[in-house]
Amino acid sequence: MSQTVLRDAAPGRLAASTKLDREIVGPPKPVVTLQPEGAALQSGTHFLPTLDGWRAIAALSVIISHWSLVQPRYLQWMGAAESKIWGGLGPGGVSLFLAISGYLITTRLLIEWENTRNISLRTFYTRRAFRILPPALAYLTLLGMLSALGLVFVTKSELLGAALFYSNYLPGNSMYTSHFWSLSLEEHFYLLWPVLLVWAGPRRAPWVALFAIVLTTLWRWWALPQTHLGAQTLQRTDFRIDALMYACLLAILLRNPSWRPRLLRLANPLVFAAMLAILVATYTGLYFHPALEEMKIVVQSALLPCIIVSTVLNSASWFGQFLQWQPVAWIGQISYSLYVWHKLAVAPAAYFRDSVFCFPVYVGLALLLAVASYYLIERPLINLGRRVAAKLT
């Protein structure tokens, strides 16, 4: 999951980077706000607070969906359709994470390009390594220890696949590592897209992103009906890279003076409502028609980045304010650790399968693990990564 920092700005460059950051979305007043207190000012970094709120929604969608696997009896009062939609919150949350990642990473790289006329891949990958690896490796290490003690069952191959980020091509992962498929997909994106962006430059990058979108869509349209590809096809990078590329393309166009005025229309509440209605209708109406699965994926991949950016463009709206509400933003800040660690809360919560305590135990343990990971592992290593990256410049 991606961090909501737009730029690791040194104090001496804060004013300049703030000016450039505001150019993402046009006029500065309703667009990008500087978080008035907390981590943003303490670290000297510039945030898009609405992205924290979206990450909170994505993370909660995933853990609620996975809870339905622990306690399915609470879904029995629903019909088959409603139960399937409820369980589908997880994939929807992951798609939201992917859209955030594509938009945010591309924006950060373009800001660096505009400031220095250069993108340092060395510093980018240093920050990403310190951001992504410590919580994930800590989780997998603990999981391996629990497996050695016989408390959980995971195979060495799935631990290796998760650690080396190829889980989304590895069939038969257990419950404890199955969620690493999305981390693998995002890691492949981090490895490939910055290199392509440097190679193509900001002018040719939109065509690279568009080519990736068209190629992925055509490949998926042809291959989805091929049953030999298996049940986990939609977790593969070659089948989902367009979910990131749509967001990348939007981020590039938002920094283009000729495209920016047109895209500012996304800030219109009516446009936001229309996009949301189309997304919901597609999600619910086509979810039960496998033949139209490709259409659902395309609509979801294309609209989610636009919906996210619309709140960035109109952060003063009531929904933008909700996304910036401190409790919601805090969940967004710990969302990566929450996503990585929440599966360890599934087994203890299962002991309360027939009790109303199942959900509170599950969420409480997931939050406890996430908070410990964030404050003891994730945040200290992020700060260390920034210092190491600064020395490389």
Provide the 10 A C-beta neighbour count for residue 5: 21
* Mean confidence (pLDDT) of the chain: 82
Residue that the structure tokens 């981090």 belong to:
190
Q: How far apart are CA 196 and CA 6, in angstroms?
A: 20
Which residues are CB-neighbours of 387 under 8 A, at least 6 positions away?
none
Q: How far apart are CA 378 and CA 375, in angstroms?
A: 6
290-313 tens-digit pLDDT = 566 778 889 989 999 999 999 998
Higher pLDDT: 191 or 260? It is 191
Q: How many residues does the chain have?
A: 393
Asked if the structure places residue 339 within a domain, the reply is yes
CA-wise closest residue to 94 among 274, 244, 260: 244
Percent pLDDT > 90 in the chain is 55
Q: How far apart are CA 161 and CA 236, in angstroms?
A: 13
Buried b (16+ CB within 10 A) or exposed e, 233-249: bbbbbebbbbbbbbbbb
Higher pLDDT: 67 or 320? It is 320
Asked if the structure places residue 40 within a domain, the reply is no
Q: What is the pLDDT of residue 348?
A: 81
CA 11 and chain centroid, separation: 28
Asked if the structure places residue 169 within a domain, the reply is yes
- Angle 54-50-345 from CA coordinates, rounded to 5°: 35
Residue type, 266: L
77-109 tens-digit pLDDT = 555 555 566 667 788 899 999 999 999 999 999
pLDDT band, residue 41 (cuts 50/70/90)? very low
Largest Cα span, the chain:
61
Q: What is the pLDDT of residue 32?
A: 34
Quote the crossing angle between the two packed helices 180-223 and 89-116, to the nearest 10°: 100
Asked if the structure places residue 52 within a domain, the reply is yes
Calculate mean pLDDT across residues 316-325.
93
Percent pLDDT > 70 in the chain is 78
Asked if the structure places residue 90 within a domain, the reply is yes
Range of the domain at 258: 5-10+45-392
Q: How far apart are CA 80 and CA 78, in angstroms?
A: 7
Residue 5 forms beta bridges with which residues?
A: 47
Q: What is the pLDDT of residue 74?
A: 55
Q: Measured between alpha carbons, how far is residue 287 from residues 31, 148, 184, 226 in Å?
A: 34, 40, 25, 19
Higher pLDDT: 283 or 201? It is 201
Asked if the structure places residue 38 within a domain, the reply is no
Q: Is the pLDDT of residue 22 over 70?
A: no
Q: What is the pLDDT of residue 45?
A: 40
Calculate mean pLDDT across residues 42-46.
35
Q: Are 262 and 321 in contact (CB under 8 A)?
A: no
CA-wise closest residue to 323 among 313, 385, 73, 130: 313
pLDDT band, residue 392 (cuts 50/70/90)? confident
Calculate mean pLDDT across residues 333-351.
89
Determine if residue 154 is left, alpha or beta; phi over 0 gives left, psi from -120 to 50 gives alpha, anything else beta. Answer: beta
Q: Are 26 and 261 in contact (CB under 8 A)?
A: yes
253-262 tens-digit pLDDT = 999 888 988 8
Backbone angles phi, psi at 36, to 5 degrees: -70, -20
pLDDT band, residue 23 (cuts 50/70/90)? very low
**H or E segment at 316?**
none
* Domains identified in the chain, total number: 1
pLDDT band, residue 229 (cuts 50/70/90)? low
